[in-house]
Amino acid sequence: MTYDLAIIGGGPAGYTAAEVAGKNGLKTVLFEKKALGGVCLNEGCIPTKTLLYSAKLYQSAKDSAKYGLSIENIDFDLSKIIARKNKIVRKLIAGIKAKMAEANVEVVVGEAIGIENGEWRMENEGIGILCNNVVYHAKKLILCSGSEAAIPPIPGLKETDFQTSREVLENKELPESLLIIGGGVIGIEFATFFNTLGTKVTVVEMTDEILGGMDKEIAALLRAELTKKGIEFHLNTKVAAVQNHQIKIEKNGEKQTLEASQILLSAGRRPLIKDLKVNEWMQTENPDIYACGDITGQSMLAHTAVKEAEIAVNHLLGKNEKMSYKAIPGVVYTFPEVAGVGLTEEAAQQSGITYSIKKLPMTYSGRFVAENEMGNGLCKIIEAADGTILGVHLLGNPASELIVIAGIAIEKGMKSDELKAIVFPHPTVGEIIRESL
Ligand SMILES: Cc1cc2nc3c(=O)[nH]c(=O)nc-3n(C[C@H](O)[C@H](O)[C@H](O)COP(=O)(O)OP(=O)(O)OC[C@H]3O[C@@H](n4cnc5c(N)ncnc54)[C@H](O)[C@@H]3O)c2cc1C
């Protein structure tokens, strides 16, 4: 039997592509070797946000006196926090299974490979795919096989009992101290979780600031907030070697040894297939084969994967929408949250365009002050000379929700006065964006 479309990988890219294709009448087969939902649902976005929510409630309970409440005997049980996370994951996987059934997608559990030495070969009946010793044929193929944690060649690391973001999610006991190699988004979210529950957390970052790729001023402000909470940061610092629980670091030629009861390696992710090039419709060099999500190495975010999958399926359905990376929001679910979309100040500087910066402290928002006793934050807007909004960067809750407003404005090419003409409800923290313009 020949399918219209075969999809390899059941993460956000794969299940979105399958749903759109199935609903549009394409005979679709989806191969998944582990669990539907991919990294995002099983060991990424959803598990981490579930754990962070428990930690946030714990922190709120501890801070309750600031709001005139008294809560006694505040405590937590890590095994129950993990069990709840697993329950949420199971529930959401069931939701995806139901979506696949509704869209008439055939889901095959198993590892899919090209029929000849792993190569995707076009045969008379279509592209040949081998899974569980059965050959499937499809007219088109979308590769959505995702990414894995990058393991840098640090001397001694392989012989050490280190964890990546996957294993750390299953910790039954709270480590006394945790050393995180890598101050990117994933590392900093785990730093927040463990710090909030009482672990002594140290972050070692090779570059001069955490959250590479986000606006540096906002990242530095977050780092200051997290430092106040007791997280120790070593910037411009290289991990030279790891031995058991000792980490040898180097900064400006000076050597130091750090110790921690547990090491979390969070040094980025790499696509399962290297150097896959795609065009604006997500087609690879072979026009019958598309690639979406982390596998392309473009943005490594779930919402990008979803959009790319929609673009790819729409293209093979004959529509001509091109993928745009202009307004992909980035969110860091720390306490406080960080979010940004569009150009950072650094990117604006490098591009050589004329721009101006508009900034307001979050405390200009009445709602923010009411809900964040002693809280700090910033709303920073990057505007082109003609008033077009180029970038918005936020520190302060609920940045993860507010960034959608900015994303819409940037995607639609709105100017500041156009966004300012919109009525925002009062009192909301979102008013800060309107007020900053
Ligand atoms: C700790 C962590 C936190 C994260 N938090 C966020 C967040 O808050 N927000 C966000 O946007 N992103 C987040 N991400 C990133 C997000 O998880 C990824 O961008 C997203 O999962 C990419 O989706 P994908 O469909 O491309 O790939 P994946 O989700 O990686 O799915 C790929 C799937 O393909 C399957 N597969 C691979 N090869 C084969 C094969 N040969 N045959 C069959 N199946 C195969 C795999 O088993 C996997 O299920 C996080 C990542 C991590 C690790």
Q: Give the tens place of pLDDT for each residue, 159-207.
A: 999 999 999 998 989 999 999 999 999 999 999 999 999 999 999 999 9
Residue-wise pLDDT tens digits, 255-265: 999 999 999 99
- Ligand 1 centroid – CA 301 distance (Å): 8
Mean pLDDT of 333-349: 98
11 and 122 both lie in a single domain = yes
* pLDDT, mean of residues 103-114: 96
CA-CA-CA-CA torsion sign (410, 415, 420, 421)? negative
User: Which ligand 1 atom is nearest residue 301's CA?
Assistant: 19
Q: Using CA of residue 161, residue 166, residue 172, residue 173, what is the dihedral sign? A: positive
Task: Give the CATH number of the domain where residue 58 resides.
Answer: 3.50.50.60
Instruction: Report the sign of the C-alpha dihedral through residues 34, 36, 40, 43, in that order.
Output: negative
Whether 235 is covered by a domain: the verdict is: yes
- 426 catalytic per annotation: yes
What are the tens digits of pLDDT across the range 29-80? 999 999 999 999 999 999 999 999 999 999 999 999 999 999 999 999 999 9
Which of the residues 137, 303, 393, 426 is marked catalytic? 426
Which one, of 54, 56, 61, lies nearest residue 82 by Cα?
A: 54
* Shortest-distance Cα residue to atom 45 of ligand 1: 9
Output the six-digit token pair for 381: 């807007």
SS3 11: coil
Residue 427: cis peptide before it, omega within 30 degrees of 0: yes
- Atom 5 (ligand 1): residue with closest C-alpha? 45
Tell me how far the alpha carbon of residue 244 lies from the centroid of ligand 1, in angstroms: 30
- Residue 105's domain spans which residues? 2-148+270-316
**Residue 432 lies inside a defined structural domain of this protein:** yes
Who's near 428: CB < 8 A, 6+ residues apart?
365, 367
Read off the CATH number of the domain in which 376 is found: 3.30.390.30
Q: Which atom of ligand 1 is nearest to the CA of 112?
A: 42
In a domain, 373, yes or no: yes
Which of 20, 45, 163, when mutated, tests ligand 1's pocket best, judged by the most ligand atoms within 8 Å of its CB? 45
Element (H, E) at 391: strand 389-395
Are 296 and 364 in the same domain?
A: no
Collapsed DSSP state (helix, strand, coil) of residue 3: strand
Which helix (H) or strand (E) is 411 found in, with range? helix 399-411
Final residue of a domain: which of 316, 341, 376? 316
CA of 147 to the centre of ligand 1 (A): 6
Do 110 and 129 belong together in one domain? yes
For ligand 1, atom 51, the nearest C-alpha belongs to 44
Residues 16, 109: one domain?
A: yes
List phi, psi (to 5°) of 20. -65, -45
Instruction: Give the residue, by CA position, lying nearest to ligand 1 atom 1.
Output: 44
Q: Work out the percent of the chain whose per-residue pLDDT is above 70.
A: 100
- Note whether residue 323 is domain-resident: no
3-state secondary structure of 361: strand
* Domain co-membership, 246 together with 275: no
Is residue 87 domain-shared with residue 41, that is, in the same domain?
Answer: yes
Distance 51 CA to ligand 1 centre (A): 18
For 278-311, the pLDDT digits (tens) are 999 999 999 999 999 999 999 999 999 999 999 9
Q: Cα–Cα distance between 283 and 27 in angstroms, integer?
A: 19
pLDDT score of 430 more than 80: yes
Q: Are 375 and 342 within one domain?
A: yes
Nearest 5°: phi and psi at 209?
-155, 155
Ligand 1, pocket residues at CB < 6 Å: 8-14, 31-34, 38-40, 44-45, 48, 111-113, 144-147, 165, 186, 272, 293-295, 300-303, 305
pLDDT of residue 330: 98
Q: How far is the CA of 185 from the centre of ligand 1 (A)?
A: 15
pLDDT tier for residue 266 given thresholds of 50, 70 and 90: very high
**259, 294, 316: which is the final residue of a domain?**
316
Burial of 361 (0-12, 13-18, 19+ CB in 10 A): middle
Question: Partners of 346 in the beta sheet?
Answer: none
d(CA 420, CA 399): 19
Distance separating alpha carbons of residues 95 and 376, to the nearest angstrom: 38
Distance of CA 414 to the CA centre of its chain: 26
Confidence of residue 124 (pLDDT cuts 50, 70, 90): confident
Q: Is 126 part of any domain?
A: yes
Residue that has been written with the tokens 């779930």 in this structure:
302
What is the average pLDDT across 98-109?
98
Q: What digits encode the pLDDT tens for the residues 202-255?
A: 999 999 999 999 999 999 999 999 999 999 999 999 999 999 889 999 999 999
Record the pTM.
0.97
Distance, in Å, from the CA atom of 11 to the CA atom of 4, rounded to the nearest integer, reads 20
Same domain, residue pair 130 and 14: yes
- CA-to-CA distance for 397 and 47, rounded, in angstroms? 20
Q: Which of 145, 180, 270 to mutate to test the pocket of ligand 1 (most atoms within 8 A of CB)?
A: 145
Separation of CA 33 and ligand 1 centre (Å): 12
Residues 301 and 336 grouped into a single domain: no
Furthest C-alpha separation in the chain? 73
Q: Which atom of ligand 1 is nearest to the CA of 131?
A: 42
Nearest ligand 1 atom, CA 38 = 49
Q: Is the pLDDT of residue 118 over 80?
A: no
**Whether 287 and 393 share a structural domain:** no
Q: What φ, ψ does residue 43 adopt, rounded to 5°? A: -150, 20
Inside any domain, residue 154: no
Give the Å distance between the CA of 13 and the centre of ligand 1. Answer: 8
Is residue 158 included in any domain, yes or no?
no
pLDDT of residue 32: 98
Is pLDDT above 90 for 122?
Answer: no
Structure tokens given for 90: 């199971």
- Please enumerate in sequence order all residues whose Cβ is within 8 A of that of 184, keeping only pairs 6 or more positions apart, or say none: 210, 211, 212, 266, 267, 268
Test site for ligand 1: of 33, 39, 270, 332, most ligand atoms within 8 A of the Cβ: 39
Which atom of ligand 1 is nearest to 309's Cα? 25
Nearest CA to ligand 1 atom 35: 9
Q: Which amino acid is at 232?
A: E
How far does the centroid of ligand 1 lie from the alpha carbon of residue 240, in Å? 29
> How far does residue 38's CA lie from ligand 1's centre (Å)?
5
Q: Is residue 47 part of a domain?
A: yes
Cα–Cα distance, 52 to 228 (Å, whole number): 19
Average pLDDT of the chain?
Answer: 96
Q: Are residues 83 and 214 in the same domain?
A: no
Q: Which residues contact 255 (CB under 8 A, 6 or more apart)?
A: 240, 248, 249
Same domain, yes or no: 282 and 136: yes
Atom of ligand 1 nearest to the CA of 292: 26
Q: How many domains does the chain have?
A: 3
